Amino acid sequence: MWSDASVTSRIAVVGAGPSGLYAADALANAGVHVDVLDRLPVPFGLVRYGVAPDHFSIRSVRDTLAHVLERAEVRLLAGVEVGDVDAGADVSVAELLAAYDGVILTYGASRDRHLDVPGEELPGSVAATDLVSWYCGHPDADSAGIEAALAAARSVVVVGVGNVSVDVTRVLTASMERLERTDMPQHVLDALSRSRITDVHVLGRRGPAQATWTTKELKELAELDGVDVLIDPTDLELEPVSAALVESDRVVARNVEVIRSWADHALDTTHRHIHLHFHARPVELHGTDHVESVLVERTTVDDAGAAHGTGETYELPAQLVVRSVGYRGVGLAGVPFDARRNVIPNTDGRVTDESGAVVAGLYVAGWIKRGPTGIIGTNKKDAAATVVSVLADLESATVTTGEGCLELLESRGCTVITHGGWTAIDAAERSLGASRGRDRTTIHDRDALVEASRT
């Protein structure tokens, strides 16, 4: 929705995920009008395409974010790619800076980190980001590749011990009764129903005290019907640095206590199995034309908490390997970028160039500002901090009287989805879900989303 009232300033926010919408909300509270741009046809970013579909309470955050798009001061411009126009983008950062009083970049960190081990590029080796995108219904997901890898899998290795690895492990082992209540696209549910996976091995290069999952997500693994969580008791022996963490951090202590409670689980051959391997890192993926196994090296943790290989190895069968070792940001044409940290350099949210000088009118918030850390609520505080800088700069700025970039986009023949279009997509997904006995079914095809926006 867009107010007809005169404005004192107008800001473009690039990215309609939590950070972008929190920034838009804070700006609107100050009387600033905001255009929220996103390259996808729909808003909400990782809340829609990164949070596991069976985590209903977390995904409900998008209902709160949806209210931001209903504000009179906020206009959604979805389906718009910002970047190098010569390379096919719809609008450049420079053009946005010319059309607005400021531009806040909040496009996140959606690329995966690599293991950098031999065999990583074999078919059957996939990034957790790609698998999550697939089961959440992302328009750019490689459905054919993921489903082919899934169909071949009996034993899976998931590398990483954060919440994303837990999500992936849970989705790959959960019952269809659990998954069918979600808004997963039907083709995803169909593929998971055909899955013949019996074992998922989760690798952590350090000990259980250094795992970064939350206790709630960890406990969910043992609550899955027909699934056993197994761990070798020797992996629970704590070196001094781990013992100190347990003593000083209540969350770590709870996590270790939960894991210890699984040490006496017996193997039930009628169940699926989740095997937790600590002090274990992959050193090579084996196979000819497809992943067949993973060579794992035992590690030890020094007094600084760093993992070191011991030279002792063992092999795990695996037809599917999922690397879940973190997200990373990527640069945007015309914007300074720190390739070492994979973030946009900034001071208090103001983008800075190589010399440390502030780039006038350009700001950053969220993961592309600070790296992929924290929870959804962290992004709210982070966005608010950037908006403080924006508002301070606007006090001394000469404001524009333009109407943003919509006219430019339309002149280029861009298909722009506004709030009305998103409302139509939302209704179509709810209707599709109702036809299958669910609250919603995600529409995953980009063309179908655009078509739904027109109804």
pTM above 0.85, yes or no: yes
Rounded CA separation 336/353 (Å): 6
Rounded CA separation 348/388 (Å): 9
Rounded CA separation 255/211 (Å): 9
Q: Which of 115, 200, 71, 185 is nearest to 445 (CA)?
A: 185
Torsion of CA 353, 334, 375, 143, to 10 degrees: -150
- What SS3 class is residue 246? helix
Q: How far is CA 351 from its chain centroid?
A: 23
Other CB atoms within 10 Å distance of the CB of residue 255? 25
Backbone angles phi, psi at 357, to 5 degrees: -75, 145
- Could you please state the CATH topology (level 3) that the domain comprising 10-110+329-417 is classified under: Rossmann fold (3.40.50)
CATH 3.40.50.720 segments of the chain: 10-110+329-417
| Amino acid type, 148 | A
CATH 3.50.50.60 segments of the chain: 114-326
Block means of pLDDT (10 residues each) for the chain, 455 residues, are: 55 97 97 97 95 89 94 97 97 96 94 91 96 97 96 97 95 97 97 97 96 92 95 91 94 95 87 96 97 97 92 98 92 95 96 96 96 87 97 82 86 97 98 95 97 95
Q: Which residue has the tokens 């403080």?
A: 388
- Could you please state the CATH topology (level 3) that the domain comprising 114-326 is classified under: FAD/NAD(P)-binding domain (3.50.50)
Structure-block tokens of residue 345: 């350099």
Sheet containing strand 320-323, edge to edge, reads 125-127, 320-323, 155-159, 199-203, 272-277, 227-231
Look at residue 401 in the predicted model and tell me its pLDDT.
55
Rounded CA separation 338/326 (Å): 17
